[in-house]
Amino acid sequence: MLWAFASGTTRPMSQDQTTNQSWGGRFSEPVDAFVARFTASVDFDKRLYKQDIQGSIAHATMLARVGVLSEEERDSIIAGLHSIQSEIEAGQFDWRVDLEDVHMNIEARLTAQIGVTGKKLHTGRSRNDQVATDIRLWLREEIDVILVELQRLQTGLLDQAERHAAVIMPGFTHLQTAQPVTFGHHLLAWFEMLSRDRERLLDCRKRVNRMPLGSAALAGTTYPIDRSITCELLGFDAVSGNSLDGVSDRDFAIEFCAAASLAMMHMSRFSEELVLWTSAQFNFIELPDRFCTGSSIMPQKKNPDVPELVRGKTGRVYGQLMSLLTLMKSQPLAYNKDNQEDKEPLFDAVDTLRDCLRAFADMIPAIQPNVEAMREAALRGFSTATDLADYLVRRGLPFRDCHEIVGHAVKFGVESGKDLAEMSLEELRQFSDQIEKDVFDVLTLEGSVNARDHIGGTAPAQVRAAVVRGRDLLAS
């Protein structure tokens, strides 16, 4: 059945009498000019134009299939929408604040192009379910882009870890030398963190990919819509199960910002290490000049600006998460104007995470470790003390006794200026007669890292095996 629409007549209004075309009939005076600007969102939500047009094309297609629109009306609407998208992308579209948002700007332009048929596009939907659909479509696409950048960064880490699987550096706790590790093993710790971020984003995407279109303003619609059609056309996994929740849910945006906050926290920690490692005091790595800047008065300076900025931008993403949580915390069902404030925090969180990942994905493959500086640092601080304790345990002594014995040996080393590996056998045996010549096999840096030859350990063989597992994970 084809549904009929009466065009109706309205009294012409002068420009200063005009209210918003979508809801002005109930009002007796135009909106105050400042209020119009204050309540408008078009300055920031116009970035949703592709998704708005995509959703409208699917909606028009569905309306034609169920007989609400004719095929000619559908084709006219779709052609008009394609034309509008071309205008926008050519920079020829006139965005108007008085039309409030991206939805009404596009609809008004469509009506100007194709006439009364353009007004039929909004049949069976509301701006409430329209914007909720647009944001989900947009965020779904952005998550996919972010996942690509995340994979680029993880691939760079795997490449570096494989290349430097046997390069020895000090491992730290409390920022004090603890035990020797390999540079490749250290880099793979960041790979693991980013793998969890990847899992969270993929899981978040599942809940983003549910379609609210068809919820209309809050209660659904009386028109014979078929939501499964639009769901399939737009590539959603499922439709929302409740119209009230469909238009007012912003959990998916909050969840994304939570996942983004964790990812930024990981990159902030990574940034802190990069900043430390590039300092003269550590001198562990070299960053290419293209990722650094200089000083306006100190000609010797080479500042690690990219890691510092990523570290600084982390708080920005945390703030957007708090903004959205606070925005939603006391809203009654269903849609409220408060939700206009959901887009800018979400947009900023997405942009910030994506750009930080891109910067790191470009930078990490170009890092050069200073192998000798790392090794020299690992030789300081008695990093093989635990290895000596483990050696004595294997000789049959209780660990607590071994801990005390090695503590005395370290004290002697501090006083004499000798590392454990630099002491003679006679010097070591004054602390335990269980120490034999083979002790030097475990006191060397290579002996220490090679001894940790198990899954998750720092042995070069395990690093290379972890790289293979990492590549398999990314390929899956």
Give tens-digit pLDDT for 415-474. 999 989 889 999 999 999 999 999 998 899 999 999 999 999 999 999 999 999 999 999
10 pLDDT above the threshold of 50? no
- Please classify residue 61 by burial: count the beta carbons closer than 10 Å to its beta carbon, then call 0-12 exposed, 13-18 middle and 19+ buried: middle
> Does domain 379-468 match CATH 2.40.50.200?
no
- pLDDT: which is higher, 25 or 349: 349
H or E element in which residue 285 lies: strand 285-286
The mean per-residue pLDDT over the stretch 33-61 comes to: 94
Length of the chain: 476
Query: What pLDDT, on the 0 to 100 scale, is given for residue 22?
Result: 62
CATH superfamily of 37-123: Fumarase/aspartase (N-terminal domain) (1.10.275.10)
The tokens describing 32, both together, are 């105050």
Active centre residues (catalytic):
174, 295
Domains of the chain, by residue range, sit at 37-123, 128-375, 379-468
CATH architecture of 128-375: Up-down Bundle (1.20)
Other beta carbons within 10 angstroms of residue 90's beta carbon come to 8
pLDDT in tens, 73-113: 999 999 999 999 999 999 999 999 999 999 999 999 999 99
Contacts of 447 (CB under 8 A, 6+ apart): 384, 387, 440, 441
Question: Does the pTM of the predicted model rise above 0.85?
Answer: yes
Alpha helices in 329-459 (DSSP H): 343-363, 371-378, 385-394, 399-416, 425-429, 440-443, 445-451
- Confidence tier at 18 by pLDDT (50, 70, 90): very low
Q: How far is CA 65 from CA 4, 60, 426, in A?
A: 15, 9, 92
- Write down the pLDDT at residue 23: 58
